[in-house]
Every structure is written in C-alpha cells, then in structure tokens.
Amino acid sequence: MIEILTSHALNTIQDLGRIGARRFGVSTSGVMDPVALAAGNALLGNDADAASIEVQTFPFRVRFHADIAFALTGADFDATLAGSTVPPWWCTRARAGDILTLGFPRHGARAYLTFEGGIDLPPVLGSRSTHIRAGFGGLDGRALREGDIVPVSGMQREAAGRFDFGAEPPDVAIAGMNSSEDGVLRVRVMRAGEYDLFSDAMQAAFWSTTWKISVQSDRGGYRLTGAELTLPAPVEMRSHGVVAGVVQVPPAGEPIIQMSDANTAGGYPKIAAVIQADLWRLGQARPGSLIVFSEVDYREAVAAMTPINDYIAGLRASAELYRAL
C-alpha cells in the first residue's frame, strides 16, 4: 500500500480513460499526458493501461508500506526518495517506510507516479480514472488527500528483474518533437466542422494569434485569450458529440480546447481539432503558456503518431531487456 502524506487539490488516480462510454454521456477522463503514462508503465513492465497518480499540485509526498518499484515521468521536477535524489523519467525501487517527495516542476505541469503492477482499485465502466465532477472512479471519485491509503498490485508479488534506470523524455528522444520556439508551443490542428462559418478575417486571426492558456483552465478544457473569433451572426446549433482536442468557440469569441474531462456533447461551433499526437504536449502546458496553431491534414495527423508509437515500443523493449540482465 501507499500512504498519501501531502496532497493538495486535484491530484487524482488516472489511467488511459473510459474508452467507449461517451455514447452514454460519460466523459473519457484519463491522464492529460498519455505518453508519460505509457512510458512509466513501459519502464516497469506494466500493462499499458495500468493506473497511476497524476500530480498537478505540488509538493506531493507518499510513504511506501512495502518494497516496490515505481517510475516518475511527465514534467521535469525534483524528487527525493528517503532523502536521495531521484531523476525525472526514472524508475527505481522503494523500501518499506521510504518517503517519496515530488517538488515543483521546472518545466511542464503534471507528474506521473506509476507503480509496479499498477494501482489496485476496482474499475468503473472499464477504467480506474477519477472523474471528480461525476464523483466516481479512482479513490471514491475524488482527489487524493492526506491520510489516504492507495492499494498497489505490485506489493502482492515478488520483485521481478532489475530497476534503477531511466529514459529520455519524448520531447528529447523524438526528432522534431520539441516544437516550442521563444517560449511558444506550436500545436498542430485540423479544420473542424464549422470552420467555414467564420469569416476570412476570423480564420486568419485564428492562425496568426499567439494564444495564452487562461487561468480559467482545467482538465475539462483550456480557455484561450488573445483574440475574439466572432461570427457574422449568432449561430444556434443542436448539441453534438465532442472529444478531447476539439476547439470550440463560444459566443464571446474566446476559443476553448476540450481536454481529458471534456463534456460528451456541446453546441458551440467547432473551428479546429488538436491532433492526437499533440494532445499530450498540451497536457503539460501550464496556465499562462503561449501557443500558436498550425494546420495539418488527416494523413499528416495519422502519420504524426508513428514516432510516438515507435518511441513507446522502443522504450518498452529496452526496459524489458535491461530488467532481464
């Protein structure tokens, strides 16, 4: 078991989310950075969907009640285990009684603490992800708090293989992935269904504006400031299905990017959709971060996942080899 010693608001248990439940009005939820989760699970030899702790408010401290391996991925942050430094993007083994402390990130917004065997809580609709607004999943459907005990599957089995090794983060390991220039994150999008409802001037503003992620942003969506994308006349639309990555434009004109806890339906016009290959990078963007959009087509969007999938596959293969030495 893991005991939570220090946790502030919004730290939750998450996996890859509730795939296939949106038709019932249930948000997917899941981690904001699925690449970090996949990497942590690959380092430990877990199933790809094993649940972890998503930490987005710091500092965060846990005590281990038994020997177990764990991995740290996601943001670039300082961490100590029993007083010794643990690098980011690293896996190692804790001993019973050890205390792990995660400090404030230097870069990025969310850290992922993944355990050998995964977190052992009952799935709800096929996922252990916490959805705070709905009040289910994870640990009693809420954020973690001091005194919580989190069961971990790996503590029920014998230690397997070697640990104490790490990996390059994807923005370093994947060529061309670090597309942030002068502190501005470049995000690839495709045009969405209502793009042509916007005037040429509004379309040009969407592409040319350097947008800021507002402090009024969370796991449900990122509200952007920087320009107002107004329509020539108000458009009333029936609610329709939306997914993470969709960029909607409310009547006030400030776009909203739907994120992991996005609603399953909405009626605001959609101007664009962030491609899957860039959603994890948005998941690591803090409020106040600057972004610009660049357009890709469907084939480019699909092809953009290839280096990410190759990165995870290569990391898993290398980790399995190392543990077997």
Across the chain, mean pLDDT equals 93
pLDDT at site 237? 81
Express as a percent the part of the chain with pLDDT over 70.
96
What type of residue sits at position 199? S
Candidates 277, 285, 325; CA nearest to 304 is: 277
Does the structure show a pLDDT above 80 at 122? yes
Structure tokens at 8: 């502030």
305 CB contacts (<8 Å, ≥6 apart)?
276, 277
Strands 184-191, 290-295: pairing kind: parallel
Is the pLDDT at 119 greater than 70? The verdict is yes
Tens-place pLDDT, residues 88-116: 999 999 999 999 999 999 999 999 999 99
CATH number (3.40.50.11540, 3.20.20.70, 3.30.429.10, 2.40.100.10) of 180-305 reads: 2.40.100.10
Nearest residue to 224 (alpha-carbon basis) of 189, 197, 264 = 189
Q: Which amino acid is at 164?
A: D
Name the residue with higher pLDDT: 182 or 193: 193
Average pLDDT over residues 170-196: 87
pLDDT class of 63 with cuts at 50, 70, 90: very high
What are the start-end ranges of the E strands in 30-169? 52-55, 60-64, 68-81, 84-86, 90-94, 99-115, 149-150, 165-166
Q: Each residue of 132-166: pLDDT tens digit? A: 988 999 999 999 999 999 999 875 455 557 889 99
Q: What per-residue confidence (pLDDT) applies to 182?
A: 80
Reported as a pLDDT band with limits 50, 70 and 90, residue 21 is confident
Q: Which of 38, 320, 1 is nearest to 162 (CA)?
A: 320
Provide the residue type at 151 as one letter: P
Report the pLDDT value the prediction gives residue 97, as an integer from 0 to 100: 97
Residue owning tokens 């220039």: 181
Residue ranges, CATH 2.40.100.10, the chain: 180-305
Q: Percentage of the chain surpassing pLDDT 90? A: 84
| Residue listed under structure tokens 């100590």 | 80
In this prediction the pTM is: 0.95
The whole-number pLDDT of residue 155 equals 56
